[in-house]
Amino acid sequence: MRRLKISGLALMLFIIALTFTGCWDRIEIEDRGYILALGVDKYDPSDLNKYESKEYIELERKTEKIPPDQKKPEIRTDKKGIDPKTKRKVKPPLPTKENQYKFSVTVLFPNLRMMSKTSKADEQMRFLFVRPTNNVLGVRNYLERDINKRLYYGYLKVVVLGRDLVADPGLVKEVLDSLNRDKDIPQNTFLYVSETTARDTLNTMPLVQPVTGIHLFEISKNATVYGRIIETPLSEVINNFINSKCAVISRVEPGIETLRIAGAAVLKNYRFVGWLDEKQLIVYKLLMGKAKHTLIDDLKYKSTYVPFITTEVQTKKKLEDKNGRIKVIYNLRIEGEVNQFVFQSGYKVLDDPMRSYIQKGLNSIIKQKAVELVNLLKFKYNADILGIGDLISKRRPKDWERLKKNWDDEFKKIDIVVVPDVRVRRSGTIY
Rounded to an integer, the average pLDDT of 321-344 is: 82
- 64 has pLDDT over 60: no
The distance in angstroms from the start CA to the end CA of the chain is 94
Secondary structure percentages of the chain, helix, strand, coil, to 5: 35, 30, 35
What are the pLDDT digits (tens) for 173-191? 999 999 999 888 999 999 9
- CA-wise closest residue to 192 among 42, 43, 373, 39: 39
List the beta bridge partners of residue 426.
337
Q: How do residues 370-386 score in pLDDT, each as one tens digit? A: 999 999 999 999 999 99
Q: Which domains does the chain have, with CATH numbers?
A: 30-43+100-276 (no CATH), 277-430 (3.30.300.210)
Tell me the pLDDT tens digit for each residue of 200-248.
888 888 877 778 888 888 888 877 667 778 889 999 999 999 888 999 9
pLDDT attached to residue 431: 38
Name residues whose C-beta falls within 8 Å of residue 140's C-beta, 6 or more positions apart in sequence: 35, 107, 151, 153
User: What are the tens digits of pLDDT across the range 338-373?
Assistant: 876 665 545 666 677 778 888 999 999 999 999 999
Q: At 294, is the secondary structure helix, strand, or coil?
A: coil
Residue 292 has pLDDT above 90, yes or no: no
pTM as predicted: 0.80
- The more confident residue out of 93 and 290 is 290
